[in-house]
Amino acid sequence: MGKKKKAAKDDQMTLAEAYVGFQIQLKEKEIEEFESEVKTLEEKNQRYNQRQEHLKEEQLGHIQTLLKQAKDQERELEHKEVVSKEQVEQALQDNWELEKTKERKIEELRSQLNDLEQTVLTAGREKQYWLDYKNVGSKEHAKQIRLLEQELLQMQKDFQEMADHMQRSLDATVNEINKQTEKQIDDKKHLASEQAIRHLDKQTRQEVKENDWLKREAQFYRNEVAVMEVSVQKLEQDNLELMSQLFECRLEDLKISRKVFLTQVAGLEIAEPGLLGEDLEKLELSDHSARTPSRPKSAILAAVEKKVFSLPENFEREETPTELDSMDLGTFLYGRQGDFQQYLQLGPLELKLLSVVGRGLHIKPLDSTIKGAIPEQKAWPVTCQMIKSAFS
């Protein structure tokens, strides 16, 4: 027990010492803070003293400046003239009037400013009104306008439909009235005719009936004649078209056959002067195919071209060159000169068939490379007999 009491007492002493030490530390901290504050205050005091000295120096400088200015003003006052009391009163009166004028102008400006403020407020309210109208009222009004326009369109449509219906009703009524009137007139005419016929003799009544029958038959035949005239006119048009096509086919066959012959027999010499008796190397056939639409070749022309162009190059000659040169050019084309002579007596058609355009051309020598590639042929590979067999 004694040991426990002694240990508790030592603990209590230790706590008291700790508390005292803590208090000492707090006091030391407070002392340090006070010392730092004192140093700060001393520094501030020093700065304030320096500033005060600086301000005193400035004050002395300003005082000297003011004294100097006062002395200058005194000198100026000494040099100025002495002003009388009346002049002073007049100057005061002028100043007072000037002040009143300034106050009056200021009041006017204030009133104008108030008016402008009121105008600005009014304009602002009007602006706000129109903005509200633009944002809200305009949409409502636009909607109302659209509805009114739709109603107007519907009313116009209904009015037009009613007007059309009334017009149709009016037209139908007028037509019905006209029909009834015509019917009544016809009935009355028929009754009058019957009454008149009753008073006639038998022969006259028979003549009247025959006259009516003849009128009906005449009208029937007139209708048939009109139909037949239309048919005849159509047949005539078809006939003219067919004749025109046949005429064009003959012209084209003649033109193409002449071109085929000229391309195949361009190197022959012509003995007798005729339709084709001019120099073939200086003439060029005019192309009439551009004026008329293109047409397919005839079967005869196609067969002739096929036979002529299918002949072999190494075909043996059956006649001598002298006989070939002495042959007539028309015989090669048509077999007989008489068949060719019919194209010289065509009247107005002769101008079209004999339409030739001449153009002079220069003979250009062949290039050596091209000339060497083409074999020289002293004899013409196509004979008179071959051409006759092709056109027969």
DSSP codes joined into one string, 184-204 = HHHHHHHHHHHHHHHTS-HHH
| Per-residue model confidence (pLDDT) at position 356 | 53
- pLDDT band at residue 158 under the 50/70/90 scheme: very high
Q: In angstroms, rounded to a whole number, what is the distance separating the alpha carbons of residues 83 and 101?
A: 26
| Per-residue model confidence (pLDDT) at position 336 | 47
| 256 and 383 part of one domain | yes
Domain boundary among 199, 216, 234: 199
Let me know if residue 363 belongs to a domain: yes
Let me know if residue 47 belongs to a domain: no
| 176 and 289 part of one domain | no
pLDDT digits (tens, 9 = 90+) for 62-74: 999 999 998 888 8
| Per-residue model confidence (pLDDT) at position 370 | 52
| Per-residue model confidence (pLDDT) at position 313 | 44
| 372 and 261 part of one domain | yes
Let me know if residue 46 belongs to a domain: no
| 258 and 380 part of one domain | yes
Average pLDDT over residues 107-128: 92
Let me know if residue 340 belongs to a domain: yes
Total domains, the chain? 2
pLDDT digits (tens, 9 = 90+) for 217-254: 899 999 999 999 999 999 988 988 888 888 888 777 76
Average pLDDT over residues 196-224: 84
| 265 and 361 part of one domain | yes
| Per-residue model confidence (pLDDT) at position 84 | 74
Given a cut of 50, whether residue 118 has pLDDT beyond it is: yes
| 264 and 193 part of one domain | no
Residues with Cβ < 8 Å from 264, sequence gap 6 or more? Answer: 308, 382, 387
| 194 and 256 part of one domain | no
Query: Which stretch of 93-97, 199-203, 380-384 has the lowest confidence by average pLDDT?
Result: 380-384
| 195 and 262 part of one domain | no
| Per-residue model confidence (pLDDT) at position 329 | 42
> What mean pLDDT is reported for the chain?
72
Let me know if residue 366 belongs to a domain: yes
> In this structure, are residues 386 and 307 in contact, taking their beta carbons and an 8 Å threshold?
no
> In this structure, are residues 265 and 332 in contact, taking their beta carbons and an 8 Å threshold?
yes
| 257 and 384 part of one domain | yes
| 182 and 264 part of one domain | no
Let me know if residue 61 belongs to a domain: no
Domain boundary among 161, 180, 199: 199
Per-residue 3-state assignment (H helix, E strand, C coil) for the chain: CHHHHHHHHHHHHHHHHHHHHHHHHHHHHHHHHHHHHHHHHHHHHHHHHHHHHHHHHHHHHHHHHHHHHHHHHHHHHHHCCCCCHHHHHHHHHHHHHHHHHHHHHHHHHHHHHHHHHHHHHHHHHHHHHHHHHHHHHHHHHHHHHHHHHHHHHHHHHHHHHHHHHHHHHHHHHHHHHHHHHHHHHHHHHHHHHHHHHHCCCHHHHHHHHHHHHHHHHHHHHHHHHHHHHHHHHHHHHHHHHHHHHHHHHHHHHHHHHHHHHHHHCCCCCCCCCCCCCCCHHHEEECCCCCCCCCCCCCHHHHHHHHHHHCCCCCCCCCCCHHHHHHCCHHHHHHCCHHHHHHHHCCCCHHHHHCCEEECCCCCCCCCHHHHHHCCCCCCCCCCHHHHHHHHC
Domain boundary among 199, 222, 244: 199
- pLDDT band at residue 302 under the 50/70/90 scheme: low
Q: Which residues pair with 283 in a beta bridge?
A: 358
Range of the domain at 342: 252-391
Given a cut of 70, whether residue 184 has pLDDT beyond it is: yes
| Per-residue model confidence (pLDDT) at position 106 | 92
pLDDT digits (tens, 9 = 90+) for 338-370: 444 544 454 444 444 445 555 666 666 655 555
Let me know if residue 356 belongs to a domain: yes
Let me know if residue 324 belongs to a domain: yes
